[in-house]
Structure 1
Amino acid sequence: MLEMINMYICLFMLLLGICEAATGEHDACPFTAQGFRSLRLLVDVNRRGFHRDLVYSVRHDNGLPADLRVLLIHKLPSGIYMDVYQLESLKKDAGLQVLLNSEVDLEAPAYWSPAFFAFVYPTSHPTMPWHLQAVVPFHGRYHRPSLSGKWEQLVIEPPKLLLKSDICKPLFSSLSHKVIEAPCTAKNYSFCTWIEFDNLQGPKAVTLDLPVGDLSLTLPVCGGTLAITVICSLYLSQTIWKYGTF
């Protein structure tokens, strides 16, 4: 009987060790101090015209930790805006997680609008688990007409990349970094401690051209409009005088 109990105890300990080993292997940080530098943040712009998308991607060749959370803090110029109502709709329909630091006037022109910050929380790509992505729509604002050309060039600087992972916390602590307090989620209920790493290669700035009015056409447009208005007014006056009953 005693031998039977000892056998069950040994079997239980063996199974426990196998489970712990499997769990530890699954939860192991896929980064190394050297390989961590290959973590890539990509920022691109899709579509043309006044209505476009900012596409954010975070990737690593060896995969990403299971508990990795990413926050992108992006300062955006006054020449564009993000529609909070559209973001809320995409949050319900597609799970997009974006938080803006201030209210956005959707109708204000670029020269009356300030720059603003967007807090973007990328989520797992549906077909590539090692790939975090967020596609955020934005829109161009009205700009003053220009004499120099028909386009206004905007420069969108790259965002800050902040990370949070308990699995990789020992590795993160050993690297050169800054500690930043920022909203934990797009719901903005509380703040969490995030880590921003120094010397991590980031994306280049993105430039885009928005069409603007041609100021050199002011005189012909105004003159043509005035001439058509006068001609139509004279024609209507003549018709009323000829066929009208007074």
Structure 2
Amino acid sequence: MYPVLLICVYLNLFYGSTKSDENNCGLSRQVLKHAFVSMNIKKSGFHRELVTTVEFSPEAPNRLRILLSYRFPSGLYIDPYQLAPQKEDQDVQVLLNSAIDVETPAHMSAGFTALVYMSLVGKKLKFPILIHGRYHKPSLTEENFQFVQIELPKLMFKADNCIPVHLLPPHNIVDAPCTAVNISMCQWLNIQNLQEHRHVTLEMPLGDESVVNSVCAGTLLVTLLCCVVLSRRILKNGQC
């Protein structure tokens, strides 16, 4: 009788834990505690590359969908035509919450949100985004640069039908589009308190408004001189 009882207890524990793993999508306090997001900037000037690195603990499952939610300030823009994955086998989708006008200056623009969807492959992800600085209002002071901050993106896991969503404070559930092409809403588990430093800072060069009048006058003078020279050359050669 005892061997039969032990077998029943073992089967119950085995299948119960398997069912729990299926229901919780492989999420655990250990996995979420060691999730880490960082950003760094490459290149210089108005055209930069923002590289986001997402790292997970060895216990992290390999079957979760990842969502990074960026909030970009008005001083930057992303060219939608440059959002294709860097590798052909990279499963990445990007959804912007508004149309992007690449010509509008910073003081006439609004911030925007970019949702980046990707699959967890291995325990470390790196995703580059080409970002561009907008032209800012010329400075009336001696300031030569405008500082633009990019906040750390929110890291979210696909959380539908996952049990731990109410067992893992301070993490919470948020609604976001399911994919970049299917904008119906799904539940995602938002991972909070990823690291201490929550932004990177860029320096955007500024013009000097005190020289606007002299620059305009010089430009007009050079334009008039060029028109006079060209007109005389045309009249002299009889090609008017």
TM over 0.5: yes
Contact residue 159 and residue 188 of structure 2 kept, 8 A: no
Which has a greater percent of helix? 1
Partner of 2:181: 187
Q: 2:130 aligns with which of 137, 143, 167?
A: 137
TM-score (norm 1): 0.73
One-letter identity of the residue aligned with 1:155: Q
Cα shift at 1:193: 0.8
Contact residue 160 and residue 186 of structure 2 kept, 8 A: no
**Matched ranges for 1:171-186 at <5 A:** 171-176=164-169, 177-186=171-180
Quote the RMSD (CA, aligned, Å). 3.4
Residue 44 (str. 1) matches residue 40 (str. 2): yes
Give me the whole-angstrom Cα distance separating, in 2, the residues matched to 1:189 and 1:238: 63
Residue correspondences, number: 221
Contact residue 62 and residue 120 of structure 2 kept, 8 A: no
Give me the whole-angstrom Cα distance separating, in 2, the residues matched to 1:85 and 1:207: 25
Q: Deviations over 1:149-208 (max 9, x none)?
A: 2222101122222122589x4444421122111112222343211112444436421110
Residue 52 and residue 170 in structure 1: after superposition, are their counterparts in 2 closer, same or farther (change >3 A)? same
Partner of 2:54: 58
Give me the whole-angstrom Cα distance separating, in 1, the residues matched to 2:136 and 2:60: 42
Give me the whole-angstrom Cα distance separating, in 2, the residues matched to 1:180 and 1:245: 71
Q: 1:150 aligns with which of 144, 148, 152?
A: 144
Cα shift at 1:52: 1.6
Give me the whole-angstrom Cα distance separating, in 2, the residues matched to 1:33 and 1:63: 10
Contact residue 78 and residue 111 of structure 1 kept, 8 A: yes
Residue 236 and residue 194 in structure 1: after superposition, are their counterparts in 2 closer, same or farther (change >3 A)? closer
- Which of the pair has more CA radius of gyration? 1
One-letter identity of the residue aligned with 1:83: D
Contact residue 97 and residue 112 of structure 2 kept, 8 A: yes
Cα shift at 1:112: 1.5
Partner of 2:217: 223
Give me the whole-angstrom Cα distance separating, in 1, the residues matched to 2:87 and 2:30: 39
**Matched ranges for 1:15-164 at <5 A:** 33-34=29-30, 36-87=32-83, 89-90=84-85, 93=88, 95-124=91-120, 129-147=122-140, 148-164=142-158
Identity %: 40
Cα shift at 1:240: 7.1
Q: Deviations over 1:24-59 (max 9, x none)?
A: 6xx798765356322101122222122222212211
Give me the whole-angstrom Cα distance separating, in 1, the residues matched to 2:195 and 2:26: 19
Residue 239 and residue 42 in structure 1: after superposition, are their counterparts in 2 closer, same or farther (change >3 A)? closer
Q: Deviations over 1:185-242 (max 9, x none)?
A: 2223432111124444364211101122222322332333344345445556666787
Residue 37 and residue 225 in structure 1: after superposition, are their counterparts in 2 closer, same or farther (change >3 A)? same
Give me the whole-angstrom Cα distance separating, in 2, the residues matched to 1:107 and 1:166: 40
Give me the whole-angstrom Cα distance separating, in 1, the residues matched to 2:212 and 2:80: 35
* Stretches of structure 1 lacking an aligned partner (at least 5 in a row): 1-16
Moved more, 195-204 or 214-223: 195-204
Give me the whole-angstrom Cα distance separating, in 2, the residues matched to 1:107 and 1:237: 34
